[in-house]
Structure 1
Amino acid sequence: MPWVWLGIASIFEILFALSSRSACGYTRLWPSLLNVAAAIGGMYTLSLALLTLDVGTAYTIWTGIGATGTVLLGAWLYHERLTPLKLASIAAIIMGAVGLHALAG
């Protein structure tokens, strides 16, 4: 179950990042409310995952999924450029998270 909580927390992290842009400095009500709700939901579900998982590994995976999802969805939703260097960086993030998980006791 902790991995499910971590997955849900990662989705909240992506929603938080994307809604930060849409909130326009907290000047738009609904994106701002989504942003705050995503932040609270993300912290809560991450804390549930951390009851069992190693904090370093879980945090790295959480931020890695959040960063990867945000970059990919930013390219899809906002037409941000996906360069070869960005894709290589995403691969490095994923490899680092997998490595930490493999080494976790």
Structure 2
Amino acid sequence: MAWIYLIIAGLLEVVWASLMKQSLGFTRLWPSIGTVVFMVGSFGLLAISMRTLPLGTAYTIWTGIGAIGAFLVGIFILGEQVSAMRLVAASLIICGLILMKLSSQH
């Protein structure tokens, strides 16, 4: 169950990071409120997952999901540039996440 909480926490991180961008530096009310709400949910689920998962594994997976998710939101929703180097970098993050999961005994 800890892995499910961790994955959901990572997805919520993508949401709050995206809303933070939309808040324009916390100058827009609803995206700012959404940022805080999803941030609290993300941190809460991360904390629950850390009851059984090692700190290094949980935090790495959480930030990795957030990084890759924000990268994809940037490309597909915000129209950010795609380059070979950025794709290689994202692929390396994904490889690291897979290795971290495989190295975990939980």
RMSD across aligned positions (CA): 0.9
Structure 1 gaps of 5+ residues are none
The 2-side partners of 1:24 and 1:100 are apart by 34
> For the residues of structure 1 that align with 2:64 and 2:25, how far apart are their CA atoms?
25
One-letter code aligned to 1:79: G
Secondary structure of the 2:8 match is helix
Gaps spanning 5+ residues in structure 2: where? Answer: none
Percent of aligned pairs sharing the same letter: 37
TM-score (norm 1): 0.95
The offset of 1:5, in angstroms, is 0.4
Residue 103 of structure 1, CA deviation = 1.9
Superposition deviation, residue 11 in structure 1: 1.1
Moved over 2 A (4+): none
SS at match of 2:11: helix
Amino acid at match of 1:55: L
Count of matched residue positions in the alignment of Structure 1 and Structure 2: 105
| Amino acid of the structure 2 residue aligned with 1:66 | G
Q: CA deviation at 1:60?
A: 0.7
Residue type of the alignment partner of 2:51:
L
Corresponding residue number in structure 2 for 1:10: 10
Name the SS of the counterpart of 2:25 in structure 1.
coil
Residue 78 of structure 1 corresponds to: 78
Task: Tell whether 2:90 aligns with 1:90.
Answer: yes
> Could you list the per-position Cα deviations for residues 1-30 of structure 1 after superposition, in whole angstroms to 9, with x for gaps in the alignment?
111101110111001110111001111110
1:71 & 1:28 partners in 2: Cα distance?
23
- Structure 1 match to 2:52: 52
Q: Which amino acid aligns with 1:17?
A: A
